[in-house]
Structure 1
């Protein structure tokens, strides 16, 4: 019975933490930026243009430089990606997304280190990955073995 009560308390605390993250200024800014990006006609046009060409790009990648449209598609995909990335709403969204990811990485590190300093918490951020650049799948090169 005690284990069940402990688990319920842990789940309630986790839900409370999730609510705090959702109610944070960082999550609110993320939602605002996402809304702006999804509801601006010009931004949507740029994203759709890139996504549509990305399908052709994947087709071309199967054959590589031997595909007849290789050069044209490679040039266009770079142009469309740059145009999309330079859109102010996309750029603002990416910054907000990085801020939210950073917050989640910090929370993960705090929880993991509270359990044990030996807990590995993959964050995708080298700052938080304790110098394990290649990860523990790097053939022992991380030094944790």
Structure 2
């Protein structure tokens, strides 16, 4: 059963979400996403990379014993560099990372205002698992020092 306080918190969270959607970071993310979707060369490269990934996954089933293991692995790695350096893809990834950082920072502020014991995943495995085995979703009971 929800109380009036619960409903109030949900409304506040919805308002907070609206603030994030109106932020420059979010608008930049949407702009770069749209630019990427309309960039024909980037879309062709992404489609080709998806096909290479399928071949890679097939090869990985057999590992180094697959006759094309080295060839496919090298091809995927080299083509990934080509994809990652495509300007619209690089811009989108950067904008995506900025939005992710904003959301993580907001999550940390909210969590630490509730209790300093609440650990928020940072996206960095070194910090998430510092002193514990699987992140800090237990509210500090894992005794990690993060």
| Partner residue in 2 for 1:42 | 41
* 1:134 is the counterpart of 2:117: no
Cα distance change of structure 1 residues 141 and 8 upon mapping to structure 2, 3 Å threshold: closer
Cα distance change of structure 1 residues 96 and 62 upon mapping to structure 2, 3 Å threshold: same
User: TM (normalized to structure 1)?
Assistant: 0.87
User: TM (normalized to structure 2)?
Assistant: 0.86
Q: 5+ residue gaps in structure 2?
A: 135-141
| Partner residue in 2 for 1:117 | 116
Displacement, 1:17? Answer: 0.6
Cα distance change of structure 1 residues 35 and 28 upon mapping to structure 2, 3 Å threshold: same
Q: What is the 5 A alignment of 1:1-145?
A: 4-125=3-124, 131-134=127-130, 136-137=132-133, 142-143=144-145
Aligned residue pairs, count: 139
Displacement, 1:142? Answer: 3.1
The Cα RMSD (Å) is 2.1
Q: 5+ residue gaps in structure 1?
A: none
Displacement, 1:68? Answer: 1.3
Secondary structure of 1:56's aligned partner: helix
Displacement, 1:79? Answer: 1.7
Displacement, 1:132? Answer: 4.9
CA contact (8 A) 2:36 2:43 kept: yes
